[in-house]
Amino acid sequence: MAGEMVSFASNGGTCGGYLAAPATGKGAGVVVMQEWWGLVPWIKEVAERFAAAGYVTLAPDLYHGKTTDEPDEAGKLMMGMKMDEAAKDMSGAYDYLKGHASGTGKVGSVGFCLGGGLALYAATLQPFDASVSYYGVLPGAQPDFGKLAGPVLGHYAENDGWASPDAARALEKQIRDAGKQAEFHIYPGAQHAFCNPSPEVSKAGGKYDEAAAKQSWERTIAFFKQHLA
């Protein structure tokens, strides 16, 4: 991978993150929020994919150096994450890309599982131009969706005990009831974490689904092309 670890300001302190830049040297920004495993290689690969699609991409390290491939430990890391500190780190990531020399001033957020919820939460803290949630769950916070500045795209699995279709539809309705734009897709036959091909996913009851991963990615890129142009 061609990206690099960087540090950025986070409300008086600093936070690390993985930065990947497009070959063109310039593009809109995308902040990638991690799953409960932490800033693992797969999240860095996602950042690289967005960079290859033309975006200056930053994946903040919200666990500050801690990662795991064991579900029990991941659950502990997730529950131990302080939402106020994560909020500062995500806001700092937004500011970093907003002012980046290679950026265009437009910034989107995207996240997976834990990160899917955080991507939406972050978009109520900073004026992200567009946000994407993959099977997002969010412990310990209830975002004020009236503060969303941009539209939301959601990707959820039909067979998901973490973020069920009913929960996804309820979330979509909540965003729309706040007067904001939201479009959620439910992928037939798919399970939780259907975009992640890493071995640890099966330990947590998820399963990679190539067709759902491909279609959701295409929808995400089209969404960002529309709203981050």
Catalytic residue list contains 113: yes
Instruction: State the Cα–Cα distance between residues 8 and 3, nearest whole angstrom.
Output: 15
> How is residue 157 written in tokens?
């699995």
89 is catalytic: no
The amino acid sitting at 111 is G
Catalytic site includes residue 160: yes
Q: 15, 192, 195, 209: which is the annotated catalytic residue?
A: 192
Do the beta carbons of residue 185 and residue 219 sit within 8 Å? yes
Q: At CA 94, angle to CA 88 and CA 98, rounded to 5?
A: 145
Q: Which of 89, 113, 129, 195 is catalytic?
A: 113
Sheet holding 152-159, edge to edge: 4-10, 13-20, 56-60, 29-33, 107-112, 130-134, 152-159, 182-191
**Residues 6+ away with beta carbon under 8 Å from 72:** none
Catalytic residue, candidates 89, 160, 209, 227 = 160
Report the C-alpha gap between 108 and 110 in whole angstroms: 7
Question: Which residues are tagged catalytic?
Answer: 113, 160, 192
